[in-house]
Amino acid sequence: MARYAACGLIAVLLAGTTATTTATAQTTIRTPAQPEMVLGKAGYYEAPAVNVLVFSNWYDGLFADSKISGVEIIQQGTRTATNGDVRLSSTPGQWDAIGRLVERKVDTATGAITVTLEYPDYNWRYQIRSERRDGAVAVSVILDAPVPAALAGKAGFNLEFLPTAYFHHSYMADGRTGTFPLYPADAMTATPERNAASGRNEGPGAEPTAIAQGTRFVLAPEDPARRVTITSTAPVQLFDGRNQAQNGWFVLRSILPNGRTGKVLEWTIQPNSVPGWLRPPVIAHSQLGYTPTGAKVATIELDRNDRRTLPARLLRIGEDGRMTPVKTAPAKRWGDYLRYNYLQLDFSAVRDPGLYVIEYGETRTAPFRIAADAYAGAWHPTLDVYFPVAMDHMFVNEGNRVWHGDAHRDDARQAPVDHEHIDLYAQGPTTDTRFKPGDHIPGLAVGGWFDAGDFDIRTQSQYQVVRSLVDTWERWRPTRDTTSVDWTRRRTELHVPDGTPDLLQQIRHGALQLIAQFDAVGHAIHGIVEPDVAQYTHLGDASTKTDGLIYDPMLKIGEEKNGRSGTPDDRWAFTTKASALNYGSIAALAATSRALKEMDPALSTKALGIATKIWAEEQSHAPDLYQHGNTTGGPLDAERFSAAVELLRTTRDPRYATAVQSLWPAMEKTFMFNPRDAVAAIPVMPASYRDGMIPAVRAFAAAATKNATASPFGVPITTGGWAGSGTVLSTALNAYVLHKAFPEIMPADPVFRGLEFLVGHHPGSDISFVSGVGTQSKEVAYGNNRADFSFIAGGVVPGVLVIKPDFPENHEDWPFFWGENEYVIPEGAMWIELVHAVQDLQAAPAG
């Protein structure tokens, strides 16, 4: 959708001008005056269609740099710049050092924002101060102490610009012109020290050289919607960060001077405000469509300055392409949410099957269906494509395309002790195994899925997925078979049936990795992850990450002998004992033993044997409480409860019933987060157990009712650094199991709202967050093929990230926002489950 019409642009350019003119023989072009910035109630600077945020958000706690903090620019509806802060390199990467926020002060009287930050390793603090100035924002770096000697020539103020916002655009630097490159191809400067930091010994690293330099930059002078003017008291250089990594941005940077204190640098930042610009309406709706008898509500999201009163119309599409209006009640105003105004069009009364679109003014949706089988098959891409592609330790082929070779044949080496690693992995003071740091641990190169857009095996994700897939199997028994899996040949073929239900094959694949961990070291491990950042950031075929040969320290790097290698590229296994991981894993294995009883009786028996043995061992000693990041399991009581429930369901042993009952008081306190385990135990517990749950169920239902009115979308929308599709999925599935067990208390509505949110009924856009599902879905996502600006069918992305305080965002043009666009396997499994749940409630075939 165009940002503005051509005729509207001409009117915009001629409106509201200053006396400054540029004359030619035929035309006179006037430079529009810029409206004054104001510091609004939300705590950021505002002008029509333009915002400048100053540390309204802080860097994501999971990683140093999530591209959601510092000085940021939102211009004509798009966040085009971020990370305005003091950084230590010209194009810092995801894992490079970043300042720590100490304090943020807002002076509403003067309109100034002062932020104090520090680099603790250098015992150095600095301030970023912003204030309004003549339709712009002046940003200063203020020092109480000079730049430390170790940072001289390294510390500089950076501001990063989204590449896709400036592709096909130009820039000017002190009047000298250039165009932004579509693909990076700049001269580089060798930096051997970066190679040493990577630990890969693959030759020297490199830093990009500047594309341009000046004290006055104008970005996109030809495009009013993207024009930004920056003037500086010190030279500014322009870099292309994509020369170092595909997720790099265009960076403007000024080096801080040495030996000075006080105001050492000032930039004046002026994003162009297009007069009269209005964000085009968004018609949020289900890209899958609706069933004839189901509720049908579309939500129209409007610019807060859009005062127009326009009709909202439902149109039926005929075979000849004719659009016939269908009578509905008028759209009603819902109110304000985040930064937008909302209307809602309820067309639930329309039941005739067919193809439809919704129109509001000049905005029209893609076609959607009203059909009894509207949701049928919505889970197929996830099971048919996404999960097979995510299979580790397998060669995965689809027709003429190889997704990846047999990856990680060399798994895995024992991680070093007392070591905090990347991606929230850490090893405690001992290995808790018979292996020494660096030793190869045999038996781990089997099963499991790539956890996310990267290639590690995170155990907590593995057992969550296995349990979710088992739930789907036991409730609905989907026998769909489109994938051939041969574990002997370690080969997976997409779209080739082999006579075994695909769901059972995926359950088996996940269980193989969990079982391998117990066989190898006797307990569940945190996971298996790359040994260094250089390998972790690998994109493309996973089998090319390592040489597939077990590391032999007696060989030289690059030397291969007798099936072993001197290259230390094998992934590391983090093995510090954590009882929470043990319980979570044996819950999955107990469930697996039921699902695979007919398909693989031997593995079923082994899985149950491990589960019962490890449960008994855990009861014999105090729990191992090691915790780090998000790789060591959930809350201990919750994981123990899940293990007791699954063991009870599998064995009917009264010992596990006693454990369930004794743990229930703790679970009741956190019932909002884990009702599914509690409900799963009902059929194998006394009637008094169900009766005791009723107060907690009523509280859950009341909270669901409150959530339904908190936003126009009727679901809980999170505001952390990772967007909330997972929360929406889990909330909908919780509502489903509670409705099935307590229909007199818990309504089914939240289940449908959850599905519709995932497929388009959400803030910011109307795109489906499940790639390949719905008429318009995520086609640019953070999978392991993200460098190709592509997707993996069936993958579920995190979705709407709320850039605090009020900007909902999901980029379809830039895949590298992991908090918005990264596929993770638990969400895929929950999506399969949720589609079945909705079909069950609709009493339609499961597809």
Query: DSSP secondary-structure letter at 735?
Result: H
Contact 317, 356 (CB under 8 A): yes
> 192: exposed, middle or buried (C-beta count within 10 Å: 0-12, 13-18, 19+)?
exposed
Q: Are 190 and 206 in contact (CB under 8 A)?
A: yes
What is the structure's pLDDT at 843? 72
pLDDT for position 204: 58
Rounded Cα–Cα distance for residues 842 and 532 (Å) = 49
Strands (E) in 203-261, as ranges, are 205-208, 212-219, 228-240, 250-255
CA dist., res. 48 & res. 816, Å (int):
29
Closest CA to 393 of 329, 448, 316, 333: 448
Q: Which amino acid is at 202?
A: E
Q: Is 297 helix (H, G, I), strand (E, B) or coil?
A: strand
Tokens of 468: 């979710």
Query: Are the C-beta atoms of residues 38 and 46 closer than 8 Å to each other?
Result: yes
CB 77 within 8 A of CB 301: no
Contact 531, 571 (CB under 8 A): yes
Number of neighbouring beta carbons within 10 Å of residue 304 = 13
Q: Which CATH class is domain 686-847?
A: mainly alpha
**pLDDT tens figures, 201-225:** 444 578 899 999 999 999 999 999 9
- Is the whole-model pTM more than 0.85? yes
Q: How many CB atoms lie within 10 A of CB 430?
A: 12
Look up tokens 């190679």; give the residue: 195
Give the three-state DSSP class for 33. coil
Say yes or no: domain 38-271 is CATH 2.70.98: yes
CB atoms within 10 A of CB 105: 11
User: In whole angstroms, what is the distance from residue 682 CA to residue 690 CA?
Assistant: 6
Q: What is the pLDDT of residue 513?
A: 98
410-422 confidence digits (pLDDT tens): 999 999 999 999 9
* Domains of the chain by residue range: 1-33, 38-271, 282-370, 686-847
pLDDT tens for each residue of 544-576: 999 999 999 999 999 999 999 999 999 999 999
What CATH number has the domain spanning 282-370?
A: 2.60.40.10
Convert the pLDDT of each residue in 17-63 to its tens digit.
333 323 333 333 334 578 999 999 999 999 999 999 999 998 765 66
Backbone angles phi, psi at 425, to 5 degrees: -95, 145
Q: Determine the longest span between alpha carbons in the chain, in angstroms.
A: 95
Angle at 96 between CA 73 and CA 239, to 5 degrees: 55
Q: Which residues of 767-790 are buried (b: 16+ CB within 10 A; e: fewer)?
A: bbbbbbbbbbbbebbbbbbbeebe
- In the prediction, which pLDDT does 534 show? 87
Using DSSP's 3-state secondary structure scheme, residue 372 falls into: coil
Torsion angle, CA of 824/829/831/834, rounded to 10 degrees?
-150
Cα(137)–Cα(276) distance, integer angstroms: 21
The three-point CA angle 664-645-699 to 5° equals 40
Residue written as tokens 């994003």? 271
d(CA 208, CA 59): 25
Cα–Cα distance for residue pair 643/417, rounded to 1 Å: 29
Per-state percent for the chain, helix, strand, coil, to nearest 5: 30, 25, 45
- Surface-to-core class of residue 75, CB atoms within 10 Å of its CB (0-12 exposed, 13-18 middle, 19+ buried): buried
**Phi/psi at 548 (nearest 5 deg)?**
75, 5
Q: Contact at 8 Å (CB) between 507 and 473?
A: yes
**Structure confidence at residue 750 (pLDDT):** 97
> What is the token pair recorded at 678?
């509690």
The pLDDT of residue 674: 85
The burial class, CB within 10 Å (0-12 / 13-18 / 19+), for 21 is: exposed
Secondary structure, 3-state, 679-727: HHCHHHCCHHHHHHHHHHHHHHHHHHHHHHHHCCCCCCCCCCCCCCHHH
Enter the tokens of residue 474. 């036991």
For helices 749-758 and 725-741, the axis angle rounded to 10 degrees is 160
Within 10 angstroms of residue 721's Cβ, the number of other Cβ atoms is 22
Residue with tokens 């907690």: 696
Q: Which residues contact 617 (CB under 8 A, 6 or more apart)?
A: none
Q: Can you list the residues of the chain whose pLDDT is less than 50? A: 1-31, 194-203, 844-847
Which residue in this structure is represented by tokens 């803030």?
763
User: In angstroms, how far is CA 254 from the centroid of its own chain?
Assistant: 31
